[in-house]
Amino acid sequence: MEPDVVRRIADEVHAELVAEFGRDKEEPWAVERLARVMTRLNAARKDCPPLSAFVLRIPSFTAFTTPGPYVYIGRPLLERLRSDDATAYVLAHEIAHHDCGHLDVFAGWMNHLPRGVAGSIAASAFWHLEHRLLGPERELEADRYAVELCLDAGFDGALCLQVFDVLEHGALDRGDLDAVYGPENLLDPTDPNAGSTLYALQRWLSTRARRYVPIRERRDLAWEWLRARLPERRQGSSNA
């Protein structure tokens, strides 16, 4: 798809989303926080085109992005993020979908949207479809990229990863135990079939259905990536 076509559709989507759900201009704290965090993240992205973040009054406890220069976060999620650092992780995860080339999956789909209705159709679909189209492997790659980008931008890694506590509490509030722990039938370590090919297949099917690995697993992996970077950062400081 031609870049000008992508930008045209992205602008239509953005206009629809802001017109319908972007009613936070009267609340400076939200606008200022997103601008402050995105400025630092964009500065650490090494020649990548800058992106802008917007808060939307949507009911979903989520963040998402589009193939244009826009990143969105739902108001319910933003309200629970207590620091710029945790906010940075959420935004960095969405930035990763741009910088890692994940949004190419939308190119063919967007190319068939007719002019003038692309915004209304795509705006209603994007926050529901983005993560379903990307899949668990790309989501984990975005998690890892978010850890790296947040550290490069000077955010506190431990505070960044508090976002997983927020996501976990949100899922538990909804009664969605599988989102946190994975399918119940795969959690019993005493099951004689644990680790079998059948279990591996069940887990594969579960992650494909949800498009994410469980929140606990994502958090553990993010901590591994963070700890791997911390000695490097300390070594760099000692050599400065």
Question: Could you read off the pLDDT of 20-29 as tens digits, one per residue?
Answer: 888 665 588 9
Q: Kindly state the tokens that stand for 129.
A: 């479809």
Are 121 and 161 found together in one domain?
Answer: no
8 Å CB contact between 6 and 107: yes
Structural domain boundaries enclosing 56: 3-133
Q: Looking at residue 237, what is its pLDDT? A: 40
Are 12 and 108 found together in one domain?
Answer: yes
Is pLDDT at 51 greater than 90 in this prediction? yes
Range among 10-19, 51-60, 76-85, 167-176 rated most confident = 76-85
CA atoms within a 13 Å half-sphere pointing along the CA-CB vector of 200: 3
Q: Looking at residue 105, what is its pLDDT? A: 65
Are 69 and 173 found together in one domain?
Answer: no
* Average pLDDT, integer, range 68-90: 95
8 Å CB contact between 63 and 69: no
Are 20 and 124 found together in one domain?
Answer: yes
Rg of the chain over Cα atoms, rounded to whole angstroms, equals 19
Asked if the structure places residue 71 within a domain, the reply is yes
Is pLDDT at 129 greater than 80 in this prediction? no
**Which of 8-17, 128-137, 206-215 is predicted least confidently?**
128-137
Asked if the structure places residue 139 within a domain, the reply is no
Q: Looking at residue 180, what is its pLDDT? A: 86
Element (DSSP H or E) covering residue 56: strand 52-56
Are 11 and 62 found together in one domain?
Answer: yes
8 Å CB contact between 21 and 57: yes
CA angle 197, 168, 38 (to 5 degrees): 110
Q: Looking at residue 27, what is its pLDDT? A: 80
Range among 26-40, 57-71, 190-204 rated most confident = 26-40
Are 64 and 168 found together in one domain?
Answer: no
CA distance 87 to 136: 21
CA distance 154 to 49: 20
Q: What is the CATH number of the domain that holds 112?
A: 3.30.2010
Compare 194 and 48 and report the one with higher pLDDT.
Answer: 48
E strand map for 38-98: 52-56, 63-65, 70-74
**Which of 94-103, 108-117, 131-140, 141-150 is predicted least confidently?**
108-117
* Average pLDDT, integer, range 54-72: 88
* Average pLDDT, integer, range 33-38: 97
Is pLDDT at 106 greater than 80 in this prediction? no
User: At residue 124, what is the residue type?
Assistant: S
Percent of the chain clearing pLDDT 90 (strictly above):
42
Q: Kindly state the tokens that stand for 176.
A: 């969605």
Asked if the structure places residue 173 within a domain, the reply is yes
Are 161 and 120 found together in one domain?
Answer: no
- Any residues with CB less than 8 A from the CB of 101 and at least 6 apart, and which? none
8 Å CB contact between 168 and 212: no
- Any residues with CB less than 8 A from the CB of 167 and at least 6 apart, and which? 61, 215
Are 124 and 211 found together in one domain?
Answer: no
8 Å CB contact between 166 and 81: yes
pLDDT digits (tens, 9 = 90+) for 183-240: 765 555 566 666 666 555 565 555 555 566 889 999 999 999 999 987 755 444 433 3
Q: What is the total count of domains within the chain?
A: 2
